Amino acid sequence: MSRCFNFSAGPAALPEAVLRQAQAELLEWNGTGASVMEVSHRGKAFMDLAAESERDLRDLLAIPDHYRVLFLQGGATQHFAQIPMNIARRDQVADYVLTGAWSEKAAREASPYTTVRVAASAQAGGYVGLPPAGQWRLDASAAYVHVVSNETIHGVQFSEPPDTGEVPLVADMSSDILSRPIDVARYGLIYAGAQKNIGASGLVVMIVREDLLARCPADIARIFSYAEHAAQGSLLNTPNTFGWYLASLVFKWLKAQGGVTAMAARNAEKAAVLYAAIDGSGFYRNPVDPAARSAMNVPFTLPRAELDEVFLRESREAGLLALKGHKLVGGMRASLYNAVPLEAVQALVAFMQDFARRHG
Ligand SMILES: *Cc1c(COP(=O)(O)O)cnc(C)c1O
């Protein structure tokens, strides 16, 4: 067996130690006589896992007591629609900040449930930076302001959350949650699909301020209501038990690595090594404003599009996986999530330098 260095944007690399533990426990988990997939989500063993995973996530992100943690399904995409359903009235506007493909999608999916207002957009520039501060037009009566903290496709990331005053800030953190410390108190609601920085697909982690749960309307199906999920401890129906279990292992792994502060330092180093190699190459190019560059997803292009196929084939042969860029942006993309070690980035840079020498 040979595991490669995996730069996939998602589903993405998992820590090898986590996979090994899951493998070791696959047939028999935690004294239950069965695998974690084969036991009741209402039994003591799984309920203990649920409680402990929440405690670990609360420790990792220093989540204040007046926030609830939910473990949901549907992918981040379902919550693009479900968030306005829960926390905006139909006669209210919701402010959206467009910084790339994911924030566009979020706005589109919200539009059947609220009046979407674009409060700021970097679309005209091709999403190579954040909208300049002076161009934001927030509506003080909006139900919430929605941002995507890290644009997985365009490689644009907020370094700090925007100040939205009294209006709750809602952030899709699918591709950068747990990659750095955050001040949860600056957000009303944080949500993230698990398959980038948490674990396997099919699980969504949500951190929501209690007062926003009070907005959830009583006349929507219970399965769509965040207040109902919170009241039932995320066990309103059968959760994604295996995904939740994998997330619990990743949370333990992160704690053992020194938590999100240690991860942030490593992630910054990984990104610095790769951006320096791109900028210094005279061959590769990343178009994003350096102040808004993502530490998680690094898109880059080659000088001639006909080299793309060669680069992909040779990188795959060198044991470097999934470098093909998203079709909206073209070129390549290296995703450097928590589970991607510095050695992977060093191997990528060495390959890129050799490739540039041979094709420059
Ligand atoms: C991957 C991703 C999504 C979509 O996640 P799904 O699980 O496919 O719904 C949404 N937002 C961001 C920022 C993402 O990176």
207-253 pLDDT, tens digit per residue, is 999 999 999 999 999 999 999 999 999 999 999 999 999 999 999 99
pLDDT band at 140 (very low <50, low <70, confident <90, very high): very high
Contact 73, 202 (CB under 8 A): yes
Specify the ligand 1 atom closest to the Cα of 175. Answer: 15
CA distance 339 to 330: 25
Task: Give pLDDT tens digits for 88-114.
Answer: 987 899 999 999 999 999 999 999 999
Q: Which atom of ligand 1 is nearest to the CA of 78?
A: 9
Q: For each of the domains in the chain, give its residue range(s) and CATH number, in order of start.
A: 17-256 (3.40.640.10), 260-359 (3.90.1150.10)
For ligand 1, atom 12, the nearest C-alpha belongs to: 174
Contact 243, 201 (CB under 8 A): yes
Q: What pLDDT does residue 133 have?
A: 83
Our CA angle for 211, 212, 213, nearest 5°, is 90
At residue 1, the pLDDT reads 60
Which pLDDT value is given to residue 339?
A: 98
DSSP-derived letter for residue 6 is E
How many angstroms is it from 76 CA to the middle of ligand 1?
A: 5
Burial 119-150 (b: 16+ CB within 10 A, else e): bbbbeeeebbbbbeeeebebeeebbbbbbbbb
Residues in the chain: 360
Tell me, using a 6 A CB cutoff, whether residue 75 lines ligand 1: yes
To the question of pTM greater than 0.95 for the whole model, the response is yes
The best mutation among 109, 175, 179, 329 to test binding of ligand 1, ranked by most ligand atoms within 8 Å of the C-beta, falls on 175
pLDDT for the residue 251: 98
State the average pLDDT for the chain. 97
pLDDT, tens digit, for every residue of 321-360?
A: 999 999 999 999 999 999 999 999 999 999 999 999 999 8
Q: Is the CB of 121 under 6 A from ligand 1?
A: no
Helix (H) or strand (E) holding 341: none
Minimal-distance CA residue to ligand 1 atom 3:
76
Distance CA 8, CA 309 (A): 17
% of residues, the chain, pLDDT over 90: 98
Q: With CA atoms as reference, report the closest residue to 335 among 155, 101, 177, 173.
A: 155
In this structure, how many other beta carbons lie within 10 angstroms of the beta carbon of residue 290?
9
Q: How remote is the CA of residue 145 from the centroid of ligand 1, in Å?
A: 18
Q: Ligand 1 centre and the CA of 153: distance in Å?
A: 10
